């Protein structure tokens, strides 16, 4: 395996999701074509056009039950940014629903937001942990593991200490 190429996201309405992700988050519309009785809709961020988000219409009862819950209690997508506070203010002014305000920590500055289907995603300015020693930061046990799509944060919780050397143990 080389990399993640396509990540599928169940949506209730193609057009509402396209509008949200392109007009409010900053994705580009890559494809929107008829695909049998459905549509093939893909989006990508300008800085990473080789990774696409495929919007999939939730048609079955099982799929519809997952919409808005695809990440469980965690963020489904983790989006890297150079200006978390600026993106937060821009997106908030466009009506995006956030879970609080951006919070800073040794892993970076980030905040959760919801898309039009209530799935949670995170925007964050990530610090490069390879500059630090693994025992440099201590975290409380209440902080959970960061498993963000598209970004390897190198922050795995174990015994209250974050292992930041890239090992998955």
- 54 neighbors 8 (Cβ within 8 angstroms): yes
Average pLDDT over residues 21-41: 96
Q: Can you give the pTM of this predicted structure?
A: 0.73
42-46, 121-125, 135-139: which range is least confident on average? Answer: 135-139
Domains 1-67 and 68-169 share a fold: no
Cβ atoms 51, 3 nearer than 8 A = yes
**Can you give the residue ranges of every domain in the chain?**
1-67, 68-169
CATH architecture type of domain 68-169: 2-Layer Sandwich (3.30)
CB 155 within 8 A of CB 164: yes
CATH, range 1-67:
3.10.180.10
Selected residue with higher pLDDT from 67 and 107: 67
User: What SS3 state is found at 125?
Assistant: strand
Q: Which pLDDT value is given to residue 126? A: 58
Q: Between these two residues, 150 and 125, which has the higher pLDDT value?
A: 125
């Amino acid at each position: 395996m080389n990399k993640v190429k396509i990540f599928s996201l169940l949506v209730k309405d193609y057009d509402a999701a396209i509008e949200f992700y392109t007009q409010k988050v900053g994705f580009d519309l890559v494809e929107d074509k008829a695909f049998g009785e459905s549509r093939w809709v893909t989006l990508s961020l300008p800085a990473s056009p080789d990774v696409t988000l495929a919007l999939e219409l939730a048609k079955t009862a099982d799929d519809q039950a997952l919409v808005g819950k695809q990440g469980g209690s965690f963020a489904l997508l983790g989006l890297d940014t150079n200006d978390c506070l600026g993106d937060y203010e821009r997106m908030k002014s466009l009506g995006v629903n956030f879970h609080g305000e951006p919070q800073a920590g040794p892993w970076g500055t980030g905040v959760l937001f919801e898309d039009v289907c209530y799935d949670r995603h995170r925007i964050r300015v990530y610090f490069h942990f390879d500059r630090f020693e693994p025992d440099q930061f201590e975290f409380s046990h209440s902080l959970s593991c960061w498993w963000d799509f598209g970004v390897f944060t190198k922050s795995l919780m174990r015994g209250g200490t974050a292992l930041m050397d890239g090992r998955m143990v």
